[in-house]
Amino acid sequence: MVDRQTRVKKKKFRKTPGSNTAVQYSRDKNSKARDSLTGKPLPGTSNQSKSVIGHLAKSKRRPSVPFGGILGSKSRREVWENYALVESGRKDITDVPIKLKKFIKIKEVSK
C-alpha cells in the first residue's frame, strides 16, 4: 500500500528524455489572483479551481467595478486619476508612468 502523503498528492505521468514514463507527485494549490501593478493579492476574488469558478455567477467571480479582478483599489484609483488628468488636458499621455499606460486608452478626436 502507498503511504498516505503520496496518496493525497496528484499523480502526473511525465516522459523522461530516455523515453521512459516517470510518475511525479505534486500537491498543487491554486494561488490567489494578484494585482497586475503591485503584485499584492486581490481582495474579492477566490482561489478556487477554474472548474468551480466557471459555475459561479459573474458577480461572484470578481468585483463588479472597472478593472475588477485585475487591479486593486489603490492601483485602480491611480489609473483613474491619471486618466482624468489626461482626458481633461492637464497632463500629457507621455507624462503618465509606463506601467499605467496600458490601462489608459484615450479616444482620438477627429477634426
pLDDT, one tens digit per residue, over 22-77 is 998 887 788 888 999 999 999 888 888 888 888 988 888 888 888 888 999 999 99
For the chain, the domain total comes to 1
The verdict on residue 44 lying in a domain is yes
pLDDT tens digits, one per residue of 1-21: 778 878 888 889 999 999 999
Q: What torsion, rounded to 10 degrees, do the Cα atoms 40, 41, 42, 48 define? A: 160
**pLDDT of amino acid 38:** 92
Neighbour tally for 57: CB within 10 Å:
6
The verdict on residue 90 lying in a domain is yes
pLDDT of 108 higher than 70: no
pLDDT of 79 higher than 90: yes
pTM of the model: 0.66
The verdict on residue 106 lying in a domain is no
